[in-house]
Amino acid sequence: MAKSTKTSERLLSLLRDGRPLSRRQQMALVFQLSLPAMLAQIATIVMFFIDAAMVGHLGATEAASVGLVETTFWLFGGLTGALATGFYVQVAHRIGAKDDEGARAVLREGFTTALLFSSIVGLFGVIISGPLPHWLGGDADVAGGATTYFLLFSLFAPFMQLNQLSAGMLRCAGDIKTPSVMEALLCIFDVVLNFLLIFPTKTYDILGLPVTVPGAGLGVAGAALGTGLAFAIVASTLTLIVFHRHGPLRILGERWEGWWAFRPRRATLVQAWGIGMPIGVQHTLMSCAQVFVTMIVAPLGAFAIAANSFAVTAESICYMPGYGISDAATTLVGQSVGARRWNMARQLAGVSVGMAMTIMALMGVVLYFGAELVMDIMTPQAEIIALGASALRIEAFAEPMFAASIVCYGAFVGAGSTKVPALMNLASMWGVRITLALLLVGSMGLDGVWTAMAIELTFRGTIFLLRLRSRSWLPGGAA
């Protein structure tokens, strides 16, 4: 890994210095930056997979409680992620232009803004946690657990924001390894804390010896607290690493004008708004669409709600490699744009997209044939397994084009082009997926919702590939 890191640093240096990169070097750079991110993304999904399995073994009602509000929390995470993107893309551009002091200034201002914003988001989550399950169409059996889960999760919003911002800053500086390692540790902390907090104290027979494992027996509340505490530990550590690390982002130990330097400047906020606002609006409306899908599924009953939630978690194992490569594409395109290397930006984006489509196509094959096995791990309920496995087999066919949309979007974000891609995502989600889901759910049930999803993802990937082939996503439509 150390040799790989040195190689990627050398290639990034060539990129910033305006030196040529062969196609083989481009592929090596994309792979070396993507691999840690892909492994971290997969570890994250394994974490959610295990979390879902733990809650699933509590019962269908508990699983439905978490599944009902899960998409709403994605909405909150999308808003905080959009704010983080508005700042770390600016950092990537400044590093590409070799403006290290400017990068550090944006970093300082980003942390102040992010903490204020995420505190407001968390407070809002606490306020709406009571009525939210009823707004989403949940019945009385599900609503209590859903309220508890969402309220406790909302309290940790500032830590989730810090995790997004710190990891993004490090990645845009070319350090993919550190946030990836920390995400893997997040998974370990999450699994351990969830196990201890969800289940009661129990004695297990291990190799013929009785071993008593302590537990709080908090159920759904323990799931929220375990994940929240894991985020708190990792986010705090990542923030310290960012402030102490050597390189263009180092703050502690460097000369600056005191804590007043952390005040957000108007110019930085305006640029962050220009980059992040379309992403925030997109995430809001996309998450609202996910919430709307949950509302479409809710009348089908607790088994369908749980199966839908578990299937979403299982399917995410396939697309997390795409998000890992997307992170690398954002970094590479961002630094290329900062160095004003337009053709290199297009070439690196193309290499990234091709790699992601290949990997996710293979993952789709695995998903199709392993659908029942994956669902069986998460829940013992036969009806939930059958519903979820059927949905996963439908979705498997859309994975390559989903990869195209994910990585194209990451490349566009790195270039600072977020408005048109946001509109494309929204038009695809609301115009295709929601419309088809409403038309098909009555005759096909949960399968109809997932058929609509597969068709929409294929359509979305197609329009993103068409935009990638053009030059309009680069600053000024540069050649």
- The residue ranges of every structural domain in the chain are 2-477
CA dist 36 and 183 (Å) reads 10
pTM comes to 0.72
Residue 63 has what pLDDT?
78
* 188 residue type, one letter: I
Q: Which residues contact 446 (CB under 8 A, 6 or more apart)?
A: 297, 300, 304, 307, 308, 387, 390, 391
pLDDT tens across the length of the chain (479 residues): 445 556 677 777 777 777 878 788 888 888 887 777 777 766 766 776 677 678 777 777 887 888 778 777 777 888 898 899 899 889 988 888 888 888 888 998 999 999 999 999 999 999 999 999 888 877 788 888 889 999 998 999 999 999 999 998 988 887 878 888 898 888 889 889 988 998 888 887 777 788 888 888 888 889 889 989 999 999 999 999 988 876 777 776 666 566 677 888 899 999 999 888 888 888 777 777 877 887 888 888 888 888 888 888 788 778 878 888 898 898 889 888 888 888 888 999 999 999 999 999 999 999 899 988 888 877 788 888 899 899 999 999 999 999 999 999 999 998 888 889 999 999 999 999 999 999 999 889 999 999 999 999 999 999 999 999 988 898 866 55
Beta bridge partners of 206: 209
Tell me the chain's radius of gyration from C-alpha atoms.
Answer: 22
Provide the pLDDT for residue 3: 52
For position 4, what pLDDT does the model report? 52
Q: What are phi and psi of 205, to 5 degrees?
A: -95, 105
pLDDT at 45: 66
144 alpha carbon, distance to own chain's centre: 27
